[in-house]
A and B are shown apart, each in its own frame.
Chain A
Amino acid sequence: MSTPVDPRPVASAEAEGMAIVARTQAQLVRRRFFRHRLAMASLVVFMAVLLLSFSATGIGPIPGWWKHDYTTVATVVDGGRPTLSVVPTFLGGDGVHLGEHPFGQDNKGIDYFALTMRGTQISVMIAFIVGTLGSFIGVLIGAAAGFFRGWTETILMRFTDIIIIMPLLAICAVIANQAGNAGPFWLAVVISLFTWTGLARIVRGEFLSLREKEFVEAARAAGTPAWRIIRKHILPNTLGVILVSATLSLAGAVILETSLSFLGFGVKPPDTSLGRLISDYQSAFVTRPWLFIWPGVFIVTIALTVNFIGDGLRDAFDPRQNKVRS
């Protein structure tokens, strides 16, 4: 007796949920990133913070939805205490509501929510400019040094060594002291002149190994100009490293800018930033701790979420990474 043979054909790989779909490298990376739960949660929180800060007080001429302005002086109500309440009534709280001044008021009666949102806007904007411009300079210098080698490399890398030995915070304080007067934009530009060193070294390392590869040799043999080889053949292969590094440098830039502003060398009045707010209200800490706590919470939230996003990107771009963790 033989066992009855199943008349149907052997279950294909597809039927068992093992379909092998051809995916491009970009799709693989995207998939890995979107499956990184912590990074996705961070992305959502980060976007929410951005949306909140930019919509609340408005951008340039466009007004925001929040009723108070970050410059309007008003009478201080209830010692400027925050009216935000998140404990529902059935738990013995005041119920969930925003109130008139959710983050409280400062000593001049300015609504602190509006002020914090404005500070977040400026800080994030500076961080974006520093992150992108700094990374751009780093890629440019690293690529040139790694690709051309010889004297170009020696000069550029010695220059990097020179910049790297100066404490970043200190040298930024020196230049930001003047640049801060010209407004946040120029402050950001000036800071990014000193934050590129790390990426330049990484990109140079990548270029050094990639320029010896066969496909680059083939491109060179076909008479492709150097600029095109860099742009079309080598750079796309280093995109992951650059993107990760740029994201992490954005988180670093938030901390750097707020630190500078805290010391009084960054954003100057009438502009404000999260670091500036903390510095301004540091002395009021004992009597009005919320003036100190709120900007700090926003700095930590922004820096932490951006760091997590960068970590997610790093995992996504790492070809050795198959398992997606947490």
Chain B
Amino acid sequence: MLAFIVRRVIAAFGILLAGTFIAYVLVALSGDPLQRLREDNSPGREERIASMTERLDLDTPVPLRYVKWLGGASQCVLPFLGKCDLGQSVRGQDVSSLLGNAMTSTLQLITVATITAAIIGVMVGIITALRQYSRLDYTATLASFLFVSLPLFWFAVLLKQYIAIDLNDWLADPAVSLPTAAIVGVVSGLVWASIIGGDRRRVWTSFAGAFVVSAGGLLVLAETGWFRSPGLGPIVVAVVGLAAAVGLTALLAGFRYRNVLYAALATAVAGIVANLALDSVLFNPSWGVLFLLLLLAVGIAVGIGYAIGGMQRRQAITTSVWVTIVMGTTIVADRMLTAWDNYFEFVDGRVIATFGSETPNYDGGTWGNLLDTVTHLALPTVALILVSVATYSRYTRASMLEVMNQDYVRTARSKGLTDRTVVVRHALRNGLIPITTLMAFDLAGLIGGAVITETVFGWQGMGFMFVDALRNVDPNPAMAFFLVTGIVAVLFNMLADIAYAYLDPRIRLG
């Protein structure tokens, strides 16, 4: 294994070197930075050309310039070598400081998009594989074809012009009419009925249940003015926590052995108590405190699972940790929504942002800023993940179907295991292995998509910087983009290879 990893690291290093060299040459050949100055006839032209030549080191031949650039760039990648130097832009700014700001917002976008796309895509993939050739399966297949065929830039502009503006208008005066509620109810009923499946009676029961809950819930929320000032409160947090404990136990372990259920419920109760007890801490915590609390919560969950789990210790620990994650997310959402009123007023009711990555001059503490980030991320993320969701769901579906048809799954079924055990404990483990490779592959697509999304939504990220640099014939920022994307791509490919070799023992290391 170690030899394999070392070989992969060396290969990745070589690929990165060669890749940046090709990119450097192409960027250098893509335009002449002096062109605009040459056409300029105002006095002082010669000096400006000379200073630009010196700034961008244009007298040095391209390969040599690459070596020089690499010398500066390597200090950014390897620590303790000195000051990071990626050259200067045509306007004389230091590229490494430009990159620092741009990278944060792009990585934020890409991380959120990857996680969302993977969760949604894998879930849709598993469900459609389990309900193969159902109406839901066909709908998901058609939708994924449509998502792959939608030009991102077109869809992003449509989102911006229609969804954002309409949603904001609606949020200013949130009223739900009866027909709207009915339509939402029918759609939700259809989806849930096809997910749950079963015989006719069960289908109708699930349809009716989903219809009543969605349509009724929507109406009640609108009547009570919830959309005007949304929030969850400790009671909802408690209900979600207990529901998560029961639901996740049903999904991951079943009720045959009670220990898992008790552990999950104990974790949920601990979460509810903690949420109330830590009220003053959670009022405006710093990110460090939040992170520590999360670690503590996971630690407590593991402890509870270990103590109560008994014979089902492993399952109990897993379930408890998942309950903690669900509860943590709910608590964060709850706290974030406390900042809603303040934020709503500040942005004048235009909550869903269509431009930039943050509201200028807004500081609403930890939760207000989080809400600000979320509202700015919403639309670009939706636009960005379409293709990825389609890829993940198709891939997961195919891989799950293949695994479900294998002999060992048939063996598991024939010895009388429940459907849940067969799917969750036998099929899923092998079925999700190929997703590791897909994640690395998909990341490159997301970075390409970020170039477009950032242009449409005016994010000052790396993609925006890259497009801007290319338009202004500015080689160094463009190269910084390739350096970062190259490193990310190589790193994730390498991690995926190693993870794959680790997860799938059939892979020969050689």
A residues bordering B, Cβ < 8 Å?
Answer: 158, 161-171, 173-175, 177-178, 251, 255, 258-259, 262-265, 275, 278-279, 282, 285-286, 289, 292, 296, 299-300, 303-304, 307-308, 311, 325-326
Q: A residues within 8 A CB of B444?
A: 164-165, 167-168
Give the residue name and chain of the A residue nearest to B160 (CB): A285
A177-B470, A292-B157 known; A170 vs B485 contact (CB < 8 Å): yes
Instruction: Name 5 extra pairs, CB < 8 A, besides A299-B154, A303-B150.
Output: A165-B485, A169-B448, A173-B466, A259-B153, A296-B151
- Bound-state CA distance A57–B450 (Å) is 35
| Interface contact B161-A263, CB-CB below 8 Å | no
| Interface contact A169-B31, CB-CB below 8 Å | no
Q: Least Cβ distance of A263 to chain B in Å? A: 6
| Interface contact B452-A263, CB-CB below 8 Å | yes
| Interface contact B161-A285, CB-CB below 8 Å | yes
List 6 A-B pairs, minimum CB-CB distance, nearest first: A303-B149, A169-B448, A304-B149, A296-B154, A165-B489, A167-B448
| Interface contact B490-A165, CB-CB below 8 Å | yes
Contact of B451 among A162, A169, A286 (CB under 8 A): A169
Range for the number of chain B residues in contact with chain A: 35 or more
Q: B residues within 8 A CB of A292?
A: 154, 157
| Interface contact B149-A174, CB-CB below 8 Å | no
- Bound-state CA distance A173–B468 (Å) is 12
Q: Check: B148 CB closer than 8 A to any chain A CB.
A: yes
Q: A residues within 8 A CB of B161?
A: 285-286, 289
| Interface contact A171-B157, CB-CB below 8 Å | no
Q: Least Cβ distance of A98 to chain B in Å? A: 25
0 or 1 for each of B135-167: is its CB under 8 Å from A? (1 = yes): 000100000011011111110011001000000
0 or 1 for each of B455-471: is its CB under 8 Å from A? (1 = yes): 10000000000110011
Contact of A161 among B15, B23, B448, B470 (CB under 8 A): B15
Q: Which residues of B, 468-510, contact A by the 8 Å Cβ criterion?
A: 470-471, 478, 481-482, 485-486, 489-490, 493
Q: Check: B29 CB closer than 8 A to any chain A CB.
A: yes
Q: Check: B447 CB closer than 8 A to any chain A CB.
A: yes
Q: Check: B255 CB closer than 8 A to any chain A CB.
A: no
Q: Least Cβ distance of B231 to chain A in Å? A: 34
| Interface contact A278-B486, CB-CB below 8 Å | no
Give the residue name and chain of the B residue nearest to A248 (CB): B148
Q: B residues within 8 A CB of A158?
A: 11, 14-15, 18
Q: A residues within 8 A CB of B158?
A: 296
Contact of B15 among A165, A175, A259, A296 (CB under 8 A): A165
| Interface contact B471-A264, CB-CB below 8 Å | yes
| Interface contact B481-A170, CB-CB below 8 Å | yes
| Interface contact B466-A170, CB-CB below 8 Å | yes
| Interface contact B448-A170, CB-CB below 8 Å | yes
| 21 A–B pairs (Cβ distance < 8 Å), ordered by A | A165-B489, A165-B490, A166-B19, A166-B489, A170-B447, A170-B482, A174-B30, A174-B470, A177-B31, A255-B152, A259-B152, A262-B151, A263-B452, A263-B455, A265-B470, A275-B151, A296-B151, A299-B151, A300-B154, A304-B145, A325-B133
Most buried by A among B14, B133, B151: B151
Q: Check: B34 CB closer than 8 A to any chain A CB.
A: no
Q: Least Cβ distance of A202 to chain B in Å? A: 13
Q: A residues within 8 A CB of B148?
A: 251, 303, 307
Q: Least Cβ distance of B12 to chain A in Å? A: 9
Q: A residues within 8 A CB of B470?
A: 173-174, 177, 265
- Bound-state CA distance A296–B157 (Å) is 11
- Bound-state CA distance A90–B485 (Å) is 58
Q: A residues within 8 A CB of B152?
A: 255, 259
| Interface contact B151-A168, CB-CB below 8 Å | no
Give the residue name and chain of the A residue nearest to B466 (CB): A170
| Interface contact B154-A169, CB-CB below 8 Å | no
| Interface contact B451-A170, CB-CB below 8 Å | yes
| Interface contact B150-A300, CB-CB below 8 Å | yes
0 or 1 for each of B2-36: is its CB under 8 Å from A? (1 = yes): 00000000010011101100110011011100000
Q: Least Cβ distance of B484 to chain A in Å? A: 10
Q: Least Cβ distance of A127 to chain B in Å? A: 12
Q: B residues within 8 A CB of A164?
A: 444, 489
| Interface contact B151-A258, CB-CB below 8 Å | yes
A174-B26, A263-B467 known; A167 vs B485 contact (CB < 8 Å): yes
Q: B residues within 8 A CB of A279?
A: 153
Contact of B151 among A165, A259, A325, A326 (CB under 8 A): A259
Q: B residues within 8 A CB of A258?
A: 151, 153
- Bound-state CA distance A105–B470 (Å) is 32
Give the residue name and chain of the A residue nearest to B27 (CB): A174
Q: Least Cβ distance of B478 to chain A in Å? A: 7
A173-B467, A174-B478, A286-B161 known; A307 vs B451 contact (CB < 8 Å): no
Most buried by A among B23, B149, B482, B489: B149
- Bound-state CA distance A216–B448 (Å) is 41
Give the residue name and chain of the B residue nearest to A198 (CB): B441
Contact of B149 among A173, A263, A286, A307 (CB under 8 A): A307
Q: Least Cβ distance of B421 to chain A in Å? A: 29
- Bound-state CA distance A257–B105 (Å) is 27
Most buried by B among A166, A175, A307, A311: A166
A162-B15, A165-B444, A292-B157 known; A171 vs B149 contact (CB < 8 Å): no
| Interface contact B448-A168, CB-CB below 8 Å | yes
A259-B152, A263-B467, A286-B161 known; A311 vs B145 contact (CB < 8 Å): yes
Q: B residues within 8 A CB of A286?
A: 161
| Interface contact B18-A162, CB-CB below 8 Å | yes
Q: Least Cβ distance of B505 to chain A in Å? A: 21
Q: Least Cβ distance of A245 to chain B in Å? A: 14
Give the residue name and chain of the B residue nearest to A173 (CB): B470
Q: Least Cβ distance of A208 to chain B in Å? A: 14
| Interface contact B30-A278, CB-CB below 8 Å | no
0 or 1 for each of B110-152: is its CB under 8 Å from A? (1 = yes): 0000000000000000000000010000100000011011111
Give the residue name and chain of the A residue nearest to B153 (CB): A262
Q: Least Cβ distance of B489 to chain A in Å? A: 4
Give the residue name and chain of the A residue nearest to B449 (CB): A169
Q: A residues within 8 A CB of B482?
A: 166, 170-171
- Bound-state CA distance A64–B167 (Å) is 44
0 or 1 for each of B281-300: is its CB under 8 Å from A? (1 = yes): 00000000000000000000
| Interface contact B30-A178, CB-CB below 8 Å | yes
- Bound-state CA distance A162–B455 (Å) is 27
Q: B residues within 8 A CB of A275?
A: 151, 153
Q: B residues within 8 A CB of A178?
A: 29-31
| Interface contact A174-B23, CB-CB below 8 Å | yes
- Bound-state CA distance A325–B137 (Å) is 12
| Interface contact B23-A255, CB-CB below 8 Å | no
Q: Least Cβ distance of A241 to chain B in Å? A: 16
Q: Least Cβ distance of A198 to chain B in Å? A: 10
- Bound-state CA distance A258–B151 (Å) is 8
| Interface contact A165-B153, CB-CB below 8 Å | no
Give the residue name and chain of the A residue nearest to B463 (CB): A170
